[in-house]
Amino acid sequence: MGGLTVLHECLVTLPHEDFVYLGDHARLPYGPRPLEEVRRFAREIAAFLEAEGVKLVVAACNTATSAALPQLQEELAVPVVGVITPEAHAAVQATRNRRVGLLATEGTVDAGRYAELVHALDAGVDLFAVACPRLVPLIESDDPFGAATTDAVREYAAPLKDARVDTVILGCTHYPLIRPIFQRVFGRDITLVFSAEETAREVAETLARKRFENDAAREGAYRFLTTGPPDAFRAMGARFLQLPITEVEHVEPAQLEAAAA
């Protein structure tokens, strides 16, 4: 579901483009899975989308980007944009004391991609990473703004505050949904970097650079596919997308596997 926060920003930034969104709900969650397994899933989805005739692929999941971005970029004939590089760049630009925090899933933290990218941009920046296994289930619960979510954010934020970071990367596409809680816990003095806004900007710049843009005067369309139950996707998806979702198509995981075969 988290990738819908990225799609929302893309729709706002690029209203003239067409989007197809595929949510792999039958095989969630990705965060605790072995990176090799997540890499296989990402390659299957990307191959399926390329066969649909897309002109660019967004890996709208931090765990999938961490596990598979280089392989996707090598294997696909179209550009692939991940959600990590834009965030790392924004964090390095934003930090004043060169102490950056990262809140993300276990898989994203274990992959170490953020540290590699941040240090490639500025070797003097210290990155402090905290895995947050409780946040995604809480954000997808019936009460994402409840006391349990606030308590979890405070717990995960504590070591970053102790490390005196002045910038925090919210390294999961679910996290923008509870942005007010993060802002309350961290306060005004700490800059928060979200994947959705930075990724949408990267998509726009890539399309412009490649001269792939649609006519700015047209209104784009969007369609949704899921490997899980369409009704469940429709009900929860509207919360993340903040726009109505009508039709949702079902795709079997076997169709994704066949696309990458």
pLDDT by residue (tens digit) across 95-141?
999 999 999 999 999 999 999 999 999 999 999 999 999 999 999 99
Percent of the chain whose predicted confidence (pLDDT) is above 70 = 100
Q: Is the peptide bond before 15 cis (omega within 30 degrees of 0)?
A: no
The CB density around residue 145, as the number of other CB atoms within 10 Å, is 14
pLDDT given for residue 243 in this prediction: 87
Domains along the chain? 3-83+198-259 (3.40.50.1860), 84-194 (3.40.50.1860)
Residues labelled as active-site residues: 61, 172
Give residue 143's pLDDT: 94
pLDDT tens column, 221-237: 999 999 999 999 998 99
Q: What pTM was computed for the model?
A: 0.89
Q: Which residue reads 């047209």 in tokens?
A: 218
Beta pairing, strands 99-104 & 167-171? parallel
